[in-house]
C-alpha cells in the first residue's frame, strides 16, 4: 500500500515537472491517490452525501405545500405534508450520520497511510538528505501537515461536495419554482467567482509560507529542548527566548496575512451572494403582490435560495481549506517524492555465502555532498583481508570515519570502488551489506525505549539469555542489574538516564549481539574509565577473533596489537605497518605516539 502511494507520488512529480501550470492539482492529487485506495468507503460516503443533500433540498419544497395548503382558505388536511417533512428529516439525520462516519474514517485512514508512506520513504534515504534537511522540520511536516490533510479529507472535501450537490439541486428546484428569478440569480455567479480566483492565488502562497513558519517554530523547540543542558550551562536562556519569540512573531504575522485574505474573500463573496438574494426576494415579493406567484412558492424560493447562497458562501471557506491542504500536500509530497540515492539495482548481485569478511577500497575519490569543495578521500586504496585487524589513526579530519560511511554504503564515491567479498557495493543490496557489519560509533545513539530494546537492536530476535551474555561481555551486567526495572527500564531520550560509559557499553553489547563477520569500531572505548576500558577491551579482543575488524582510534595505546596500522592525513594513507615498525620509521605515527606516550 505504502509503496503504491510512493510510486504514484513519484509519477505525480514527473507530471508536475512536465506541466508546471498543473502543480496545484498535482499536490491535491497526492491526497486523492491515498483516498482512492478505499473505494467501498468512498462509495458509502458518496451515497450518504447525495441522500443528505437531496433530503436537505426537499425540505423547502415540502414547506411550499405546507404554506400553500395550511394557510389557504380551504383549510385542507395538512397532516400528510407534515408527516412527509418528518420523514425527510429522519432520512437527513441518518444519512448525515453515515456520511460523517465514513468521511471521518477516510480522514483518519488516509493520514495514517500518508504518514507511513512518508516515513517508509525517509528510511530509504541516504544520510546526506538529513544533513541538508533539518529532522525537526521533517517531523513538523509529519505532524502538523498531516493534521491539515486529515481536516481536508475528513471535513473539507465532504463539505465541498455536499455544498456543490446542494447548490446544483437547489438551482434545479429554483428553476422549477421561478425560472425568471433563477436566471437572474445565475447571471451574477461570474461576479462571485472572480474574487475567489484573484484572492485565492495570493491565499495559496501565503498559506504555504504560514505552514513553513509553523515548521520553523517546531524546529526551534526541538533544537532547544534537545540541547537544554548546553543552553543553561552557557546562560543562553534569554537569547533562546528572544530567538523563539522572533520566530513566533514572524509566524503570527504570516498567519494574520492569511487570515486577512480569507476574511476579505469570505466578506466579498457572502456580500455579493446575499445581496443578490435580497434583490431577488424583493422582486418575488412584488410578484406575490401582483398575484403571479403563490406565498408558498416565494417562501420555498427564499428558503431554497438561502440554501444555495449558503452553499456558495461555504465554498469560499472550503477553498481556503483546500489551499492549505494543497500546501500541506506539497510539503509532504516533497518527502515522498525524494528518490533514494543509495538503492539496490534492478538485478542485484548476491554476496557470497558464507561471508568472508573482505573489504577493498580501490582508488577512491570522495567528497561529502554538504562539503563539495573538499576531497575527504584522495585516490585512497586499502585492502582488508578476512580476519585481519586494521587500525586507522591520524589527525581529525583525515578521513578516518569516512571509511566507515563508504563501507556501509551510506555514500558512493565519485570514482573508484568499494568491494565486499569481491562484490562492488552498488551492485548489491544495501541492507545485505550492512547485515554483515557491526558498528560501534564514538557518539553512542540510544533510543527512547527500554534497555532490552536498545540492546537487541543489534539482533531483534535475541533472547534474554543472549542479551545478558552480550551485556556480560561488554561489562554492562552490573549497571543493568541495578536499574529499577532491569531490562524493562526506560532509558530516556537518547539514553539520558545513563552515563557516557554506560551508554557506550550498551552500544558494544549491541554490536556483540549483531554477530557480524566485520566489526567497525570508532573509538569504542573512549568514554570508559581505565578499569572498564580494560574489561571491555578484553571482550572486544575475544569478539574480534576470526572477524575482520577496522578500528578507528585516537588513543594509540588501544591499537598497538593490531595486525596493521594505517596512518591517514588529508584523505590519504601516508604510512602503514605495525606499531613497532611505524615508531621506527619516525614519521607522523611516531610523532603522534610521542605526544601521547610521553605525557
Written as one string, the DSSP assignment of 331-364 is HHHHHHHPPPSS---SSPPPPPSS----EEEEEE
Instruction: Please indicate, yes or no, whether the overall pTM of this predicted structure exceeds 0.85.
Output: no
Cell of 317: 471557506
Got the DSSP string for 14-41?
Answer: HHHHH-GGGHHHHHHHHHHHHHTT-HHH
Edge to edge, the sheet with strand 548-552 lists 437-440, 518-522, 548-552, 389-393, 564-569, 572-577
Question: What span, in angstroms and rounded, lies between the C-alpha atoms of 223 and 226?
Answer: 5
Work out the number of other CB atoms within 10 angstroms of the CB of residue 101.
14
pLDDT value of residue 248: 87
Nearest alpha-carbon partner for 422 in 355, 363, 365: 355
3-state SS assignment for residue 478: helix
Question: What span, in angstroms and rounded, lies between the C-alpha atoms of 508 and 455?
Answer: 9
pLDDT value of residue 107: 86
pLDDT value of residue 7: 52
Cell of 93: 439525520
pLDDT value of residue 300: 78
Bridge partners, 377 (sequence order):
366
Residue whose C-alpha cell is 389557504: 72
- CA dihedral of 332, 333, 337, 342, whole degrees rounded to 10: 0
In the 8-state DSSP scheme, what is residue 72? S
Name residues whose C-beta falls within 8 Å of residue 99's C-beta, 6 or more positions apart in sequence: 45, 48, 49, 52, 158, 162
Q: How far is CA 595 from CA 57, 348, 393, 524, 590, in A?
A: 89, 48, 14, 21, 9
pLDDT value of residue 69: 67
Residue whose C-alpha cell is 605515527: 589
- CA dihedral of 547, 506, 403, 389, whole degrees rounded to 10: -30
Q: What angle do CA 205, 206, 210 make, to 5 degrees?
A: 120
Question: What span, in angstroms and rounded, lies between the C-alpha atoms of 583 and 577?
Answer: 9
User: Which domains, from first to last, does the chain contain?
Assistant: 2-337 (1.20.1560.10), 359-597 (3.40.50.300)
Cell of 113: 497511510
Residue whose C-alpha cell is 467501498: 40
Name residues whose C-beta falls within 8 Å of residue 306's C-beta, 6 or more positions apart in sequence: 277
Q: How far is CA 442 from CA 493, 505, 527, in A?
A: 18, 11, 8
Q: What phi, psi does 572 have (nearest 5°)?
A: -135, 155
pLDDT value of residue 193: 67
**E strands of 468-547, at which residues?**
518-522
Nearest alpha-carbon partner for 209 in 264, 157, 261, 147: 261
Question: What span, in angstroms and rounded, lies between the C-alpha atoms of 522 and 530?
Answer: 18
Question: What span, in angstroms and rounded, lies between the C-alpha atoms of 574 and 131?
Answer: 30
Nearest alpha-carbon partner for 159 in 318, 322, 47, 38: 318
Specify the DSSP element, H or E, that contains 169. helix 157-177
3-state SS assignment for residue 568: strand
Nearest alpha-carbon partner for 471 in 454, 485, 484: 454
Nearest alpha-carbon partner for 415 in 365, 342, 378: 365
pLDDT value of residue 383: 94
Question: What span, in angstroms and rounded, lies between the C-alpha atoms of 303 and 345?
Answer: 65
pLDDT value of residue 21: 33
Burial zone of 386 (CB within 10 Å; 0-12 exposed, 13-18 middle, 19+ buried): middle
Runs of H (alpha helix) within 227-362: 228-233, 237-289, 295-337
8 Å CB contact between 358 and 553: no
Work out the number of other CB atoms within 10 angstroms of the CB of residue 584.
11
Low-confidence spans in the chain with pLDDT less than 50: 13-25, 599
Name residues whose C-beta falls within 8 Å of residue 517's C-beta, 6 or more positions apart in sequence: 355, 356, 357, 386, 436, 547, 548
8 Å CB contact between 503 and 444: yes
Nearest alpha-carbon partner for 311 in 167, 527, 129: 167
Nearest alpha-carbon partner for 526 in 555, 550, 497, 549: 555
Nearest alpha-carbon partner for 439 in 494, 521, 509: 521
Amino acid at each position: 500500500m505504502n509503496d503504491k502511494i510512493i510510486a504514484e507520488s513519484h509519477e505525480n512529480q514527473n507530471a508536475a515537472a512536465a506541466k508546471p501550470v498543473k502543480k496545484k492539482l498535482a499536490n491535491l492529487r497526492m491526497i486523492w491517490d491515498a483516498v482512492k485506495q478505499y473505494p467501498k468507503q468512498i462509495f458509502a460516503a458518496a451515497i450518504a452525501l447525495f441522500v443528505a443533500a437531496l433530503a436537505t433540498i426537499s425540505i423547502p419544497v415540502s414547506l411550499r405545500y405546507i404554506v400553500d395548503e395550511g394557510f389557504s382558505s380551504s383549510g385542507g388536511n395538512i397532516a400528510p405534508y407534515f408527516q412527509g417533512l418528518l420523514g425527510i428529516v429522519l432520512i437527513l439525520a441518518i444519512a448525515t450520520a453515515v456520511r460523517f462516519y465514513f468521511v471521518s474514517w477516510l480522514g483518519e485512514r488516509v493520514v495514517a497511510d500518508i504518514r507511513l508512506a512518508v516515513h517508509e520513504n525517509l528510511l530509504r534515504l541516504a544520510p546526506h538528505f538529513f544533513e541538508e534537511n533539518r529532522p525537526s522540520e521533517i517531523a513538523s511536516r509529519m505532524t502538523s501537515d498531516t493534521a491539515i490533510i486529515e481536516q481536508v479529507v475528513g471535513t473539507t472535501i465532504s463539505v465541498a461536495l455536499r455544498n456543490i450537490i446542494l447548490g446544483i439541486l437547489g438551482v434545479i428546484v429554483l428553476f422549477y419554482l421561478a425560472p425568471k428569478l433563477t436566471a437572474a440569480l445565475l447571471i451574477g455567479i461570474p461576479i462571485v467567482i472572480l474574487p475567489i480566483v484573484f484572492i485565492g492565488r495570493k491565499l495559496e502562497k501565503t498559506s504555504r509560507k504560514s505552514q513553513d513558519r509553523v515548521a520553523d517554530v517546531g524546529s526551534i523547540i526541538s533544537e532547544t529542548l534537545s540541547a537544554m543542558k548546553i543552553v543553561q550551562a552557557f546562560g543562553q536562556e534569554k537569547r533562546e527566548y528572544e530567538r523563539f519569540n522572533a520566530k513566533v512573531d514572524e509566524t503570527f504575522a504570516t498567519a494574520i496575512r492569511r487570515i486577512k485574505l480569507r476574511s476579505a474573500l469570505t466578506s466579498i463573496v457572502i456580500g455579493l451572494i446575499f445581496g443578490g438574494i435580497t434583490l431577488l426576494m424583493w422582486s418575488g415579493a412584488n410578484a406575490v403582490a401582483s398575484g403571479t406567484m403563490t406565498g408558498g412558492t416565494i417562501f420555498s424560493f427564499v428558503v431554497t435560495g438561502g440554501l444555495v447562497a449558503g452553499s456558495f458562501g461555504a465554498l469560499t471557506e472550503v477553498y481556503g481549506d483546500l489551499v492549505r491542504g494543497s500546501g500541506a500536500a506539497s510539503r509532504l509530497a516533497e518527502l515522498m517524492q525524494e528518490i533514494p540515492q543509495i538503492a539496490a539495482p534492478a538485478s542485484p548481485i548476491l554476496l557470497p555465502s558464507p561471508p568472508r569478511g573482505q573489504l577493498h577500497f580501490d582508488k577512491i575519490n570522495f567528497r561529502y555532498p554538504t562539503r563539495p569543495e573538499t576531497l575527504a578521500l584522495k585516490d585512497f586504496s586499502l585492502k582488508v583481508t578476512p580476519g585481519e585487524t586494521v587500525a586507522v589513526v591520524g589527525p581529525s579530519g583525515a578521513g578516518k570515519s569516512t571509511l566507515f560511511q563508504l563501507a556501509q554504503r551510506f555514500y558512493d564515491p565519485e570514482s573508484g570502488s568499494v568491494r565486499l567479498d569481491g562484490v562492488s557495493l552498488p551492485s548489491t543490496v544495501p541492507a545485505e551489506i550492512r547485515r554483515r557489519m557491526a558498528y560501534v560509533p564514538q557518539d553512542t545513539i540510544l533510543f527512547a525505549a527500554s534497555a532490552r530494546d536498545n540492546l537487541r537492536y543489534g539482533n531483534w530476535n535475541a533472547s534474554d539469555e543472549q542479551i545478558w551474555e552480550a551485556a556480560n561481555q561488554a561489562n554492562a551486567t552490573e549497571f543493568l542489574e541495578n536499574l529499577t526495572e532491569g531490562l524493562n527500564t526506560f532509558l530516556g531520550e537518547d539514553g539520558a538516564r545513563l552515563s557516557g560509559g554506560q551508554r557506550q557499553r550498551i552500544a558494544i553489547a549491541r554490536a556483540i549481539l549483531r554477530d557480524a563477520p566485520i566489526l567497525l569500531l570508532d573509538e569504542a572505548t573512549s568514554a570508559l574509565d581505565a578499569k572498564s576500558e580494560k574489561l571491555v577491551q578484553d571482550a572486544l579482543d575475544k569478539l574480534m577473533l576470526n572477524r575482520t575488524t577496522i578500528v578507528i582510534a585516537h588513543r594509540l595505546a588501544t591499537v598497538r596489537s593490531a595486525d596493521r596500522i594505517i596512518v591517514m592525513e588529508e584523505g590519504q594513507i601516508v604510512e602503514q605497518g605495525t606499531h613497532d615498525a611505524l615508531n621506527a620509521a619516525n614519521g607522523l605515527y611516531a610523532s603522534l605516539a610521542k605526544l601521547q606516550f610521553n605525557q
